[in-house]
C-alpha cells in the first residue's frame, strides 16, 4: 500500500495537494503565466519603454506579463510590474500615485523626463494643495509644451498610473493600450 502511494506521488502527471490546500493543484498552462502570451500588453510595454532600451523592456515585461497573478487585471499588473521593476532599473517613464502629493508628482514627472533624456524640470503645480486630477492636468500641459504626452490610464480607483511618451507616439501608445485592454482615465 505504501509503495502504491509513493508510486502515485512521484509518477509523471501526478498532482500533489499544496500545503494547507485540500485537493489537487491544477496542471497545465496558467491563464496569466508566460505561456498566455499577452501580445498586446507586451507591445504596449515595448512601445512605451523603447527609449530606455531592450534591457528595460525585457525586465518590465517579465515583471508585468510573466508575473501576472491569477485574477489580476491588466492595469493592476502593469502598475505592480512597473513599480517592481524600478527597484532594478534606474530609469522610469511612469507615474504611480495613490494621492495628490505634489512633491511626489513633481519628482515622478522629473524622473520620467530625465529617463527620456530631457533636462527640463517641472516646477510643480501652481497650487500645492490641488487635487490629483488638477495636478495631473497641469503636469500634462507642461509635458505637452516640452514635446511629451502624459497618458493617464484608467485604474478604476482614485489612484493614478500614467506613462510619459513623446507626443509623436501618443496616438500609437493609446491604440496599443486599448488593444491591451486599457482605457484612458477621465478625471473630474
Q: What is the pLDDT of residue 188?
A: 53
pLDDT of residue 123: 94
**Measured distance CA(143)–CA(137) in Å, rounded:** 10
In this prediction, residue 20 has a pLDDT band, given cuts at 50, 70 and 90, of very low
Q: Which three cell numbers stand for residue 36?
A: 498566455
Tell me the C-alpha distance between 151 and 158, whole Å: 15
- Structure confidence at residue 13 (pLDDT): 42
169: which DSSP letter? G
β-bridge mates for residue 95, sequence order: 162
pLDDT of residue 98: 80
> What is the mean predicted confidence (pLDDT) over 12-23?
36
The predicted model scores a pTM of 0.76
Contact (Cβ atoms closer than 8 angstroms) between residue 167 and residue 144? yes
**What percent of the chain is modeled with pLDDT above 90?**
52
Question: Cα torsion at 92, 174, 37, 62 (round to 10°)?
Answer: 0
pLDDT of the residue at 146: 96
Distance CA 171, CA 177 (A): 10
pLDDT at 34: 39
Q: Which tens digits make up the pLDDT trace of 34-65?
A: 334 489 999 999 999 999 999 999 999 999 98
- Exposed, middle or buried: residue 137 (CB in 10 Å: 0-12, 13-18, 19+)? middle
Q: Which three cell numbers stand for residue 48?
A: 512605451
Is pLDDT above 60 for 80?
yes
E strand or H helix that includes residue 95: strand 94-97
Amino acid at each position: 500500500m505504501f509503495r502504491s502511494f509513493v508510486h502515485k506521488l512521484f509518477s509523471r502527471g501526478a498532482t500533489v495537494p499544496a500545503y494547507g490546500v485540500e485537493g489537487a493543484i491544477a496542471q497545465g498552462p496558467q491563464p496569466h503565466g508566460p505561456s498566455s502570451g499577452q501580445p498586446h500588453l507586451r507591445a504596449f510595454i515595448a512601445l512605451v519603454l523603447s527609449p530606455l532600451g531592450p534591457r528595460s523592456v525585457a525586465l518590465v515585461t517579465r515583471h508585468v506579463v510573466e508575473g501576472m497573478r491569477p485574477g489580476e487585471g491588466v492595469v493592476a499588473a502593469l502598475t505592480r510590474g512597473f513599480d517592481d521593476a524600478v527597484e532594478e532599473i534606474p530609469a522610469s517613464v511612469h507615474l504611480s500615485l495613490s494621492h495628490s502629493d505634489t512633491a511626489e508628482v513633481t519628482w515622478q514627472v522629473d524622473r520620467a523626463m530625465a529617463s527620456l533624456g530631457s533636462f527640463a524640470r517641472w516646477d510643480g503645480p501652481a497650487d500645492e494643495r490641488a487635487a490629483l486630477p488638477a495636478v495631473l492636468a497641469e503636469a500634462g500641459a507642461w509635458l505637452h509644451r516640452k514635446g511629451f504626452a502624459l497618458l493617464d490610464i484608467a485604474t478604476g480607483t482614485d489612484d493614478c498610473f500614467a506613462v510619459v511618451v513623446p507626443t509623436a507616439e501618443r496616438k500609437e501608445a493609446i491604440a496599443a493600450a486599448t488593444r491591451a485592454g486599457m482605457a484612458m482615465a477621465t478625471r473630474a
